[in-house]
């Protein structure tokens, strides 16, 4: 299972330390780094960037980590947000955005790895219920338990979800037709 991780911190030294520790834990992690909360939010909201785990600093110029997390949480409901900060002062705000955990700088590898163990276990369990939908270059992951019904129109599937949104996909028309043993038209 390929895990996509984003690190957002305005301090390049902290990014390097965290990246190295993560790659020591698993060299197959796909890590993307950002030096600004604003850049991260734009990448997620405008370019449909997807991430499984997000390590987010709190004190950053332009947009702090708490505000970035609020904006990200609206788009990526299931992302595991792990704040890493030099301050303990923001625990209450971290939990308002349903943070997975909170690590103080400088971090200890043992604590980081214990948090990673738990996060990866939860991701494995959640992935059993997920499918990825790709349409016009954007990939969206949805929990199949949130699908109310699937509509087919002109060889495109429209997934109607419990939150009232619809997701279109052309590829899955073929995939679901084969799973159901029906011919693809």
- Domain assignment present for 173: yes
pLDDT of residue 153: 79
Tally the domains of the chain. Answer: 2
Would you state the torsion angle of the CA atoms of residues 56, 61, 67, 71, taken in this order, to the nearest 10 degrees?
Answer: -80
DSSP string, the chain: ---EEEEE-S-HHHHHHHHHHHHHH-TT-EEEEES-HHHHHHHHHHH----SEEEE-S--SSS-HHHHHHHHHHH-TT-EEEEEES-STTHHHHHHTT-SEEEESSP-HHHHHHHHHHHHHHHHHHHTTEEEEEETTEEEEEEGGGEEEEEEETTEEEEEETTS-EEEESHHHHHHHHHHTPPP-
Instruction: Kindly state the tokens that stand for 175.
Output: 């995939």
- Domain assignment present for 113: yes
Instruction: Kindly state the tokens that stand for 154.
Output: 């002109």
- Domain assignment present for 49: yes
The reply to whether 25 and 79 lie within a common domain is yes
- Domain assignment present for 123: yes
- Domain assignment present for 185: no
Assess contact for 50 and 78: CB atoms under 8 A. Answer: no
The reply to whether 34 and 9 lie within a common domain is yes
The reply to whether 21 and 52 lie within a common domain is yes
pLDDT of residue 150: 82
pLDDT of residue 143: 77
The reply to whether 8 and 41 lie within a common domain is yes
CATH of the domain at 66: 3.40.50.2300
The reply to whether 146 and 67 lie within a common domain is no
- 147-153: strand order across its sheet: 147-153, 156-161, 166-169
The reply to whether 37 and 90 lie within a common domain is yes
pLDDT of residue 166: 61
pLDDT of residue 72: 95
Domain end call among 127, 149, 167 = 127
Cα separation, 164 vs 180, in Å, equals 25
The reply to whether 167 and 144 lie within a common domain is yes
Domain end call among 87, 107, 127 = 127
- Domain assignment present for 58: yes
pLDDT of residue 171: 43
The reply to whether 119 and 147 lie within a common domain is no
The reply to whether 108 and 137 lie within a common domain is no
The reply to whether 150 and 117 lie within a common domain is no
| Below-70 pLDDT ranges, the chain | 1, 135-139, 164-185
pLDDT of residue 178: 39
Query: Structural domain of residue 145, as residue ranges?
Result: 131-180
Give strand pairing partners of 139. 134
Domain end call among 86, 105, 127 = 127
CA angle 52, 117, 56 (to 5 degrees): 45
* Segment 16-38, tens digit of pLDDT: 999 999 999 999 999 999 999 99
């Amino acid at each position: 299972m390929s895990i996509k991780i984003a690190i957002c911190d305005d301090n390049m030294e902290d990014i390097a330390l965290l990246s190295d520790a993560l790659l020591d834990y698993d060299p197959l992690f796909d890590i993307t780094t950002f030096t600004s909360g604003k850049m991260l939010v734009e990448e997620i909201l405008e370019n449909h960037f997807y991430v499984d785990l997000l390590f987010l600093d709190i004190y950053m110029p332009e947009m702090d980590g708490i505000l970035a997390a609020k904006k990200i949480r609206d788009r990526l409901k299931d992302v595991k947000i792990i704040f890493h900060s030099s301050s303990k002062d923001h625990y209450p705000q971290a939990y308002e955005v349903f943070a997975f955990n909170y690590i103080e700088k400088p971090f200890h590898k043992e604590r980081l790895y214990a948090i990673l163990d738990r996060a990866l276990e939860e991701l494995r369990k959640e992935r059993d219920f997920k499918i990825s939908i790709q349409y016009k270059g954007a990939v969206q992951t949805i929990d199949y338990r949130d699908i109310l019904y699937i509509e087919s129109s002109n060889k495109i599937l429209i997934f109607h979800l419990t939150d009232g949104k619809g997701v279109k996909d052309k590829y899955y028309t073929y995939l679901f037709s084969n799973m159901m043993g029906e011919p693809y038209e």
